[in-house]
Structure formats: structure tokens, C-alpha cells
Amino acid sequence: MIIDTLANGSQYTALHPGFKAAFDHLASIDLNALEIGKYEVDGVKYAVMAKDGATKEAASEKFECHDKNIDIQVLISGVETMGWKSRNDCTSPKGEYNAEKDVMFYNDAAEMYFTLQAGQFVIFYPNDVHAPMIGDGFIKKLVVKVKIA
């Protein structure tokens, strides 16, 4: 897991071939003007979502990780807290892996929580089980899906 600000996004382009296109695209758009929905631009797949933040308990119902994609989650507005735990330490899967949606859920509790401010991002690798969208107010975010080569 990596946490930083979009202003530093170019520092991470060498970590994965898909990161350059993702961070270049993020730098070229007005995040605040984006409408809610799913998009694909120049091979960059992303979704914009917005809703009221959830409690830690409600968010833990979707304590998730992915096998085929790396998430770059960018907070556009609001304040978002996220739960995290290493997949290696998770012991209670919730059902089977869903290959169509590339998601695996766990019943485990987050080991730690961190908070993002607008303009910050987090990169979740397949080993990063996460519970997003925790907060008291309205949260608008963008999630880039970077396919693992």
C-alpha cells in the first residue's frame, strides 16, 4: 500500500507499466468536474463514485481485495477513512473469489485505519485488503483499475 498526494503521482510511474498512463490521465483532467460513472480513456479504466460515508462496521462488510487489478483510489472531495489489513493475515474469507468482478471479501477486521484528504491517493495491491468509504460526510472519489500484467 502506498499513500501520497496527486502532486507526487509521477514518482510512482516506474512501479508498474500501467501507472504512467493512469497518473498522466489523472493529471490531465479536472477531477471536480467528473460525473459519477465508469469510464475508459486511452486504456485507463476508472470509476467515479460519490455517497455519504459509512461507519467502520458497515464498511467492513465489504472488506475486499483484488487478484487481477491494482487500485489507485483518489479522494476528490470530503474526508475518507479506510481500513487495511495484509491479505496474508486474513483468515476468514467471506464466500469465494468472484473472478468476473475481481473481488474477494473477508470477515476479518481491519488491522489499522488511515484517513485521506482531497487530492490524496492510495494504491492497493492484491495483498492489501481494504474497507473504503468510511466517514461522516459526503465522499467523492475516483478508483483507477490497473490491470496486473
Q: For position 62, which CATH number holds?
A: 2.60.120.370
Backbone phi, then psi, for 65, in 5-degree steps?
A: -150, 170
C-alpha cell at 33: 468536474
- For residue 109, give every residue at least 6 positions away whose Cβ sits within 8 Å of its Cβ, in sequence order, or none: 60, 63, 83, 85
Ramachandran area for residue 117 (φ above 0: left; ψ -120 to 50: alpha; else beta): beta
Burial class (CB in 10 A: 0-12, 13-18, 19+), 134: buried
Which domain covers residue 131, as residue numbers?
2-147
- Amino acid identity, residue 61? E
Q: Model confidence over 22-69: pLDDT tens digits?
A: 999 999 999 999 999 999 988 889 999 999 999 999 999 999 999 999
Q: Model confidence over 4-25: pLDDT tens digits?
A: 999 999 999 999 999 999 999 9
Domain count, the chain: 1
Query: Does the pTM exceed 0.85?
Result: yes
